[in-house]
Amino acid sequence: MAEVTFDHPCNQTMLWSKTDELVHQYTAKDEDKKDCFTLEDTLLGYILNDQRWCGKEGSKETFTAGCPGLDDCANGAVRSFWDRASAAFAEYACRAVTVMLNGSEEKPFYPNSTFARVEIKRLKYPKVTKLDVILVTGNNNVSNCATDNLKIDLQNALGSKIGYSCTEVSESRVTECSSSSSSTNVGCGACLLKSSE
């Protein structure tokens, strides 16, 4: 972690939970149009994304086959790596931080997610002043910005000193903004946070 530092603008940090495909579609813009960066957009995250590795008792070898999945082993090497990388990424974030959550989940602020277990605990005032929640809505919506899971659970975990906003954004708007040529100096998710015309 110390050798491969983050170098994106710290106020363009995009966290996410249960929106993997959509958030990476949004952040896959050309570098000159990029306004948000996920952990997987950084060198460290890019290189190790979707990789699996493990050790076996009695062996000094590192294996890449026959390893448990990320969610199968709470204390496994892969989960430990991503938890530590996610913690460092959240600690790097500054000013207004954005998180993309899934409105089709009963609990968009899912308690066992990396965002809830690791990242939100690393967002500290005064370095971080606001959390902008982008709640992605679609045909199977069961949550909105007024749900207790966001209004109470997430805001309690965040703490009272950090500002909070929540914007419901349709999947189609995320797709539309993914091809947008918005300026990189307007802040993370600016296209998503303004109303579509």
**Among this protein's residues, is 94 annotated catalytic?**
yes
Is 166 one of the catalytic residues? no
Do 168 and 103 meet the contact criterion of CB atoms below 8 Å apart?
A: yes
Catalytic-labelled residue, pool 10, 54, 73, 145: 10
Contact residues for 122 (Cβ-Cβ < 8 A; gap 6+): 87, 90, 91, 93
Among the listed residues 54, 73, 94, 145, the single catalytic one is 94
Q: What are phi and psi of 57, to 5 degrees?
A: -55, 130
Burial zone of 128 (CB within 10 Å; 0-12 exposed, 13-18 middle, 19+ buried): buried
The dihedral formed by the CA atoms of 115, 95, 41 and 139, expressed in degrees to the nearest 10: 60
Active site residues: 10, 94
